[in-house]
Homo-oligomer: A and B are copies of this chain.
Amino acid sequence: MTQTATGEDARSRVERAALELFTSRGFDAVTADEVAETAGISRRTFFRYYPTKADAVWGDFAAHVGRLERLLRAADGARPVLATICAAYAEVNGYGDADLPVLRQRMRLILTEPALQAHSQLRYAEIDRVVAEHVARCTAEDPAALLPRLVAASTRAAATSAFAAWLADERTDLGDQLRRAFDELAGGFPSLPG
């Protein structure tokens, strides 16, 4: 029940400390002890909040996946599958302007730090499962069949590419990049020569 004067709870304090330290000194150069100490808790408690050092940058990712799943289940069945998935991704990643700096910080870490890049695959797998199940419902197939897997993996590829392009150019809008990527995917890459 201990809280700081700011009223921020321990979990958020850990996340903020992790983002700040990893950004300024690099993921590998910061020990879990340092993050814990900065957040004002013990190393042991740190690993109770987040099962690995890498998880500290992801915030409440389970809620993220949960929202995506609910959106897909509630989606209009008459709409094209890719359009549904694109809309769900855009909705789930529709941050307000105030949250964009933190999102940038988080995504920059995830996309550039090798250890976090590796770890991200485990988080993405949860998203892929949810999307593949949605496609399987739409096509009356096994979620493990080629098409559901492929749609899940390539729409996620679209999302991460959009994030990367958005990070690379400060002036662009994340939603625009997402839609551009999904348009290329749905249209069989019209911008490609040949």
Question: Which residues of A are in contact with B by a Cβ distance under 8 Å?
Answer: 78-83, 114, 117-122, 125, 135, 138-139, 144-147, 149-151, 153-154, 156-158, 160-162, 164-165, 168, 177, 180-181, 184-189, 191-194
Contacts and interface: CB of A to CB of B under 8 A. Distances in A.
A119 B122 contact: no
B139 A81 contact: no
User: How many copies of this kind of chain does the complex include?
Assistant: 2
Given A122-B117, A192-B81, A160 B154 contact: no
Residue from A80, A119, A145, A146 with most neighbouring chain B CB atoms (10 Å) = A146
A177 B117 contact: no
A185 B114 contact: no
Given A117-B122, A189-B82, A158 B168 contact: no
Given A168-B144, A177-B146, A139 B193 contact: yes
B139 A192 contact: yes
A151 to B, nearest CB: 7
A157 B150 contact: yes
B151 A78 contact: no
A176 to B, nearest CB: 10
Nearest to A117: B121
Nearest to A146: B165
Given A118-B122, A139-B191, A150-B158, 5 more contacts: A80-B193, A81-B194, A117-B122, A120-B121, A139-B193
B160 A192 contact: no
